[in-house]
Amino acid sequence: EGWAIMPTVALVLVLIVGFIILKVIGVDYFQTWLRNPALIIFVLVALLSLSWSVYFDASLYKIILFVFATVAGSYIAVAYDLKGVIKVVTWAAVVSIVLSILILIFIPNGIMQNVPYVGSWRLLFWHRNHTGDLMAYFNALFLFRVLSPAVKPLRVKIFDVAFYLLSLVLVFGARSATGIVVFGVLHFILLVGFAWLKWRHLLKPIHYYLFAAFLLIMGIVFFLNVGFFFGLLGRSANLTGRTPLWRDLIFNFWTQKPWLGYGYGALWMQRDFRYLMMERQGWSLFPVFFSDNGFIDILLNLGLAGFIPFAAMFFSCGYGSFRHAISSKNWEVFFLPLTLMYVLVGNLSYSFLLEVDQFVWILLIITVFATTRLSQGQNRTA
C-alpha cells in the first residue's frame, strides 16, 4: 500500500530538488542538460519503461534511485569546477576506505565465508567484486593525485600516498580478478598519460605509430591466450562462467524483447528469474544476481531504445574527454577520461550501471556534464 503514493512523493521531491538547483545554480544547469540530448532520451526511456516493465514495483523503486543519482551527479558537475569535482569524489573515496578498514578490523562479516569466496574481503560492500572494482578506481584516483604536478603542502602529499597504499591493500585483499584487471588498466592509462604530458615535446610521429603497434600486438596476444592470462588470476577463460551466461541472456532473452527490453531494473529483481538462470547455467552454490556486465543489463532492461542513446552519450563523452585532455595538456582534465575508462572497464565484468548501486552512474553523469562544460568553456581547470 505504501507504494501507491510513491509516484506522488517522487514527483514532489524531484520538483523540490529542481527548484533548489535553479536557485543555487541557475539556468546554466538546464542549458548543460540541453546539450546532452542522448542522455535526455536515455532518461526518458528509463522512465517510460514503467509502462512495459515486467515488474512494475521493482522498476519504480529503481527509477526513483536512478533519478536522484542523475540529479546528484549533474548537480556536482555544475556546482563545482573540475578541481572541486575531484575533491568531492576524493572525499567519497576517503569515507569508503575508512569505513571499509573499520569494518575489516571490528566486524567479522566484512570477510566473506561462503564458498568459493572464503577469506575474500567484501567490507563495506556486498561482494568482493564490488569492493575490488571500486577500490581499484579509488586507488587510481589517489595515484592521479600523487602524480599531479600542482604544488601541494607536505601534509596533502602524505595524505594522498597514505590513501593510495590503504586502497591498494583493499584491492588485493578483495581477491577479485575484476578489481585487479581494473587496477592494471587504470594504472597503465595514468602512467601513459603522465609520461605523455612530461615528455610529449620529445615525441615524433614514429613514436605514436610504434605505440599504436605495441597496443595492437598486445591486444592480439591477449585474445589468443585469454585462458593463460586469466589463469594467472586464478580464473577460467570463460570469465568464471560469464561468457556462457552472456550468450544465454542475449540469444534467449534479449531477442524476445529487443527494442524495449523488460523494464528498468525489472528482470533481475525477480527471484524466480535469478533461480532460473542458476539452473540454466548449472551454478549449484548461488543464484545469478545479474549478468555481470553493465552494458548487457542495459540492453536487457531497456532494449535498443535505451542502449542506442546510452552508447551515443558514452562515445560522445569519451571523444570529448580525451580531446580536452590532449588539447588542454592539463593534468586535472585527465581525471575525466580516467573516470570514463573506469566506467567502461569496470562494467565489462560487473553490473554497476543499473543493478548494484548508483555511485558509478553518478561518476558517469559527473564525467558527461563536466566534459560538456569544458566544451562550453564554463569549467575552470586551473
pLDDT tens across 168-183, in order?
A: 999 999 988 889 999 9
Mean pLDDT of 195-221: 91
Q: Residue 1 has what pLDDT? A: 41
Q: What are the residues whose beta carbons fall under 8 Å from the beta carbon of 189, sequence distance 6 or more? A: 337, 338, 341
Cβ atoms 133, 352 nearer than 8 A? yes
Residue 239 — pLDDT band, cuts 50, 70, 90? confident
Cβ atoms 73, 362 nearer than 8 A? yes
Cell of 1: 500500500
Residue 18 — pLDDT band, cuts 50, 70, 90? low
Q: Residue 356 has what pLDDT? A: 80
Residue 248 — pLDDT band, cuts 50, 70, 90? very high
Residue 373 — pLDDT band, cuts 50, 70, 90? very high
- What average pLDDT does the chain have? 89
Rounded to whole angstroms, how far apart are CA atoms 271 and 76?
Answer: 35
Q: CA 318 → CA 36, 88, 98, 337, 338, distances in Å?
A: 13, 21, 31, 7, 10
* Separation of CA 234 from chain center: 24
Cell of 266: 525489472
Rounded to whole angstroms, how far apart are CA atoms 110 and 125?
Answer: 8
Lowest average pLDDT, out of 84-98, 144-158, 230-244, 344-358, goes to 230-244
Mean pLDDT of 98-120: 86
Cβ atoms 97, 167 nearer than 8 A? yes
Better pLDDT: 353 or 327: 327
Q: Residue 2 has what pLDDT? A: 43
Residue 220 — pLDDT band, cuts 50, 70, 90? confident
Lowest average pLDDT, out of 122-136, 229-243, 266-280, goes to 229-243
Residue 355 — pLDDT band, cuts 50, 70, 90? confident
| Through-space distance between the first and last CA atoms of the chain, rounded to whole angstroms | 52
Cβ atoms 302, 261 nearer than 8 A? yes
Percent of the chain having pLDDT more than 90? Answer: 63
Rounded to whole angstroms, how far apart are CA atoms 289 and 282?
Answer: 14
Does 12 score more than 80 pLDDT?
no
Does 3 score more than 60 pLDDT?
no
pTM of the model: 0.91
Q: Residue 382 has what pLDDT? A: 43
* Separation of CA 82 from chain center: 19
Does 324 score more than 50 pLDDT?
yes
Q: Residue 21 has what pLDDT? A: 63
Rounded to whole angstroms, how far apart are CA atoms 187 and 180?
Answer: 11
3-class SS string, the chain: CHHHHHHHHHHHHHHHHHHHHHHHCCHHHHHHHHCCHHHHHHHHHHHHHHHCCCCHHHHHHHHHHHHHHHHHHHHHHHHCCHHHHHHHHHHHHHHHHHHHHHHHHHCHHHECCCCCCCCCECCCCCCHHHHHHHHHHHHHHHHHHHHCCCCCCHHHHHHHHHHHHHHHHHHHHCCCHHHHHHHHHHHHHHHHHHHHHHHHHHCCHHHHHHHHHHHHHHHHHHHHCHHHHHHHCCCCCCCCCHHHHHHHHHHHCHHHCCCCCCCCCCHHHCHHHHHHHHHHHCCCCCCCCCCCCHHHHHHHHHHHHHHHHHHHHHHHHHHHHHHHHHHHCCHHHHHHHHHHHHHHHHCCCCCHHHHHCCHHHHHHHHHHHHHHHHHCCCCCCC
Does 135 score more than 90 pLDDT?
yes
Mean pLDDT of 226-236: 71
> How many Cα atoms within 13 Å fall on the side-chain side of residue 104?
19
